[in-house]
Amino acid sequence: MNVIYAIDVDFMSFESSSTIESVLHEQRVFSPSLDESNKCRISGLNSYQKMVDEAQVDPIKFWGDAARKELHWFEPFTNVLNWNNPPFAKWFEGGKTNISFNCLDRHLKTSNADKCALIWEGEPGDVRRFTYKELHSEVCKTANALKSLGIKKGDLVALYMPMVPEAAIAMLACARIGAPHSVVFGGFSSEALRDRLIDGDAVAVITADGGFRKDKEVSLKPAVDAALAGNSCPNVKSVLVVQRTKADIEMQSGRDYWWEDVVTPQSSDCDPEYMDSEDRLFVLYTSGSTGKPKGVVHTTAGYNLWAHLTFQWIFDIRSDDIYWCTADVGWITGHSYIVYGPLSNGATTVMYEGVPRPSNPGAFWELIQKHNISIFYTAPTAIRAFMKMGRAIPDEFDLTSLRLLGTVGEPINPEAWMWYRDVIGREQCPIVDTWWQTETGGVMISPLPGATPTKPGSATLPLPGIEADVVDSDGLSVPANEGGYLVVKRPWPGMMRTVHGNEKRFRESYWEFLRPKDGSYIYFAGDGARRDTDGYFWVMGRVDDVINVSGHRLGTMEIESALVSHDAVSEAAVVGRPDSVKGEGIVAFVTLESGRASTEELQTDLINHVSSEIGPIARPDEINFSEALPKTRSGKIMRRILRDLAAGADVKGDTSTLEDRSVLDKLRN
Ligand code: WT7
């Protein structure tokens, strides 16, 4: 078989983890109450099933009707789906729309005009609120400012921002003038930023002097300066800087502009660009099994529809809801469920600059109480961290405003799910465990609060129109309760369109890894899963060389490249190891150049090196020096063995393909 990427599949390692053990024996079911169900748009399993059937029988009608009903079109589309050249899909061809219009302008003609669109809370406690009218005006000014800097439709603009309202405003302003955005998480290093600026051909960067995180000031603008140094990104002509921390930073004349100077004087009218449905809306980088992170491309109309519909279905959003998603806008969750999904629906979305920290472990609960938050969406890693701190902390706060809880980013273990339900939800709030990815644009598998009985640890059932399945390596469905690959068998509006600048990689990593005999194209997500006899999905985690640390996705190869770029390192292999809070921790095995001593200082030095190459989220938890690494005769590192060793478990499975068996003993020592 033409194996393109070395996907090191090993279900054993998933089945043996304690999470999976408890999941396999999970029997509890929680059904929506009749009262709750009656209040919801999609009420009861029958109405869900009816939608599933409609979408199954006539997907073109299903998606076409939804797009006409839910979005505003400057010009109607003429074709719902073009799948003549798979895996390249075109949705809503011929249509013209603009997501900033859908998120802002269309609400101005309704009673939503003076409704609060965005509540922002800074880490030091400063609060800013924007009505839809005010947000519209800020976005228009910013759009005009971008134009005044010479930015045109089609130009890619990078954002490297703290969690301030200007981040959301800048995204919407880019969308308004048709300039695709590429948001780079503010925790990434200048190296990582530079790679993304170059790969995406960015013409401008929007940033801030810095931001506040864990009671500290973190700087951002100096990292932008470092990324641009030495003319490494000649296409970047301007840098727009928000003042947040008032840190003393350097401004390069002719290139750097203060937001205050350029945006504030602009007119608050700016006609939205009429965008083709398939015009690029954004590029967002994510890690894969090999090489550098890939730029996932999403386009205008399909993404808009998917963020809009999924937000409406899953959170069953109501006019008086105050909704808070704790993600950072640097990730897809922030794109779809802080900015585009909520605003497209006319909801009130909360944005928080900080994270819970030792000086304020109740920060999240305080915010829920203070802003009367009714829907709360966070990551399992956060829930596990709260569990560890004990219920006394959340118990100090009044959380009765909550009516719905969500999780995203990694599998949630039943214990954490139950704690979330009992302690945060007072046994009153449905929990939606939402499975999806950067690539899928929005949620794919999730309970609907008024319809789906939930089981702790299961993302339950696919959304209407999503044909998800668990298959073997021939692309054939596996029987109930057996492990396999999680796939999606039909195109959907929010699907990624390509990898920026690399169609081959798009094809090979997602659509050609599994090729059923009938020649159809199925989307391979990179996750292992099983379905139970009720058809419920239990996502087990990645089956490729991608690890999930606190809900952040990292490629082991990226960390390995960072390690070998250090002059003391000859070879490196990185694996994940189960971690009770972070989901996975990062363990590195390193062989040194001859003459280099395996000292503690070097360990620290290597950890810091990875942090400066990629960012603090990629810091290894542990560095092991080893004389050699376990390899097959063809020279491939057997990460499976290292995973077992890192977890402190016995090495399972076949080791006969090892080139040198003695390596195992050396490693054990
Ligand atoms: C990977 C995608 C989706 C936004 C945040 C992460 C894992 C995500 C779940 C879930 C089990 C999950 C998968 C997936 N994942 N949600 N509810 N249950 N696993 O986006 O960085 O693109 O990562 O996160 O492994 O492939 P991402």
If you measure from the C-alpha of residue 496 to the centroid of ligand 1, how many angstroms do you get, rounded to a whole number? 15
> Which of the two residues, 25 and 432, has the higher pLDDT score?
432
**Residue nearest (by alpha carbon) to ligand 1 atom 20:** 437
> In the predicted model, is pLDDT for residue 2 greater than 50?
no
CA distance 356 to 274: 41
Residue 552 CA, closest ligand 1 atom number = 21
Range name among 21-30, 119-128, 469-478, 638-647 with the lowest pLDDT average: 21-30
Mutate to test the pocket of ligand 1, among 487, 509, 548 (most ligand atoms within 8 A of CB): 548
* Distance in Å, CA 291 to ligand 1 centroid: 20
Atom of ligand 1 nearest to the CA of 327: 5
Residue nearest to atom 10 of ligand 1 (CA): 435
579 HSE (CA, 13 A, CB side):
23
Tell me what pLDDT residue 22 has: 62
Ligand 1 atom 21 nearest Cα: 553
pLDDT above 90 covers what percent of the chain?
88
| Distance from Cα 443 to the centre of ligand 1, integer Å | 10
Q: What is the mean pLDDT of residues 232-255?
A: 97
Given a cut of 80, is residue 115 above it in pLDDT?
yes
Instruction: Return the ligand 1 atom nearest residue 407 CA.
Output: 17
pLDDT at 44: 95
Q: Is 126 exposed, middle or buried (0-12, 13-18, 19+ CB in 10 A)?
A: exposed
- Rounded to an integer, the average pLDDT of 408-416 is 95
Range in 256-265, 274-283, 285-294, 424-433 with the lowest mean pLDDT: 285-294
Query: Which two tokens mark 321?
Result: 């809801």
Ligand 1, atom 6: closest residue by C-alpha: 409
CA of 153 to the centre of ligand 1 (A): 32
Q: Residues 194-222: what's their mean pLDDT?
A: 96
pLDDT at 595 over 80: yes
Round to the nearest angstrom and report the end-to-end CA distance of the chain: 37
Tens-digit pLDDT profile for residues 33-91: 999 899 999 999 999 999 999 999 999 999 999 999 999 999 999 999 999 999 999 99
Hey, which of 285, 328, 436 would you mutate to test ligand 1's pocket, going by the most ligand atoms within 8 Å of its Cβ? 436
* Confidence class for position 24, pLDDT limits 50, 70, 90: low
Q: State phi, psi for 346 to the nearest 5 degrees.
A: 70, 30
pLDDT for the residue numbered 9 = 41
What pLDDT digit, counting tens, does each position of 144-153 carry? Answer: 999 999 999 9
Query: At a CB cut-off of 8 Å and minimum separation 6, what does 152 contact?
Result: 177, 178, 179
pLDDT at residue 10 greater than cutoff 60: no
Beta bridge partners of 623: 588
Q: Which residue has the higher pLDDT, 291 or 441?
A: 441
Which residue, by CA, sits nearest to atom 5 of ligand 1? 409
* Residue 633 scores a pLDDT above 90: no
Distance from Cα 83 to the centre of ligand 1, integer Å: 26
pLDDT of amino acid 20? 57
Look at residue 526 in the predicted model and tell me its pLDDT. 96
- Residue 178 has what pLDDT? 98
357 SS3 class? strand
Band of the pLDDT at 21, cuts 50, 70, 90?
Answer: low
At 265, the amino acid letter reads: P
- 241 φ, ψ to 5°? -120, 120
Q: What's the mean pLDDT in 150-177?
A: 98
Q: What pLDDT shows up at residue 19?
A: 52
Atom 24 of ligand 1, residue of closest alpha carbon: 409
CB under 6 Å to ligand 1: residues? 286, 332-333, 408-411, 433-438, 459, 525-527, 539, 541-542, 548, 553
Whole-number Å distance, alpha carbon 237 to ligand 1 midpoint, is: 35
Q: What is the 3-state secondary structure (H, E, C) of 361-393?
A: CCHHHHHHHHHCCCEEEECHHHHHHHHHHCCHH
Q: Provide mean pLDDT across the span 123-136.
A: 96
Query: Residue with the nearest Cα to atom 7 of ligand 1?
Result: 410
CA of residue 175 to ligand 1 center, whole Å: 25
For ligand 1, mutation pick of 282, 431, 437, 496 (most atoms within 8 Å of CB): 437
CA gap 372, 258 in Å, rounded: 35
What is the C-alpha to C-alpha distance for residues 366 and 393, in angstroms, rounded to an integer? Answer: 10
- The protein residue with its alpha carbon nearest to ligand 1, atom 12, reads 410
Average pLDDT for the chain: 94
Atom of ligand 1 nearest to the CA of 287: 21
Out of 523, 527, 554, 584, give the residue to mutate to test ligand 1, the one with the largest number of ligand atoms within 8 Å of its CB.
527
Q: Give 267-279 pLDDT, tens digit per residue.
A: 999 999 999 999 9
Nearest Cα residue to 530 out of 477, 494, 593, 601? 477
Distance 516 CA to ligand 1 centre (A): 25
Residue to substitute in 378, 410, 412 for testing ligand 1 pocket (most ligand atoms within 8 angstroms of CB)? 410
Using DSSP's 3-state secondary structure scheme, residue 360 falls into: strand
pLDDT band, residue 18 (cuts 50/70/90): very low
Q: Give percent of the chain above pLDDT 70.
A: 96
List, for residues 578-594, the tens digit of each pLDDT value.
999 999 999 999 999 99
With a cut of 70, say whether residue 471 has pLDDT above it. yes
Q: What is the mean pLDDT of residues 631-653?
A: 89
What's the 486 CA to ligand 1 centre distance in angstroms? Answer: 12
Looking at residue 654, its pLDDT comes to: 84
The residue contributing the CA closest to ligand 1 atom 2 is: 437
3-state helix, strand, coil in the chain (%, to 5): 35, 25, 40
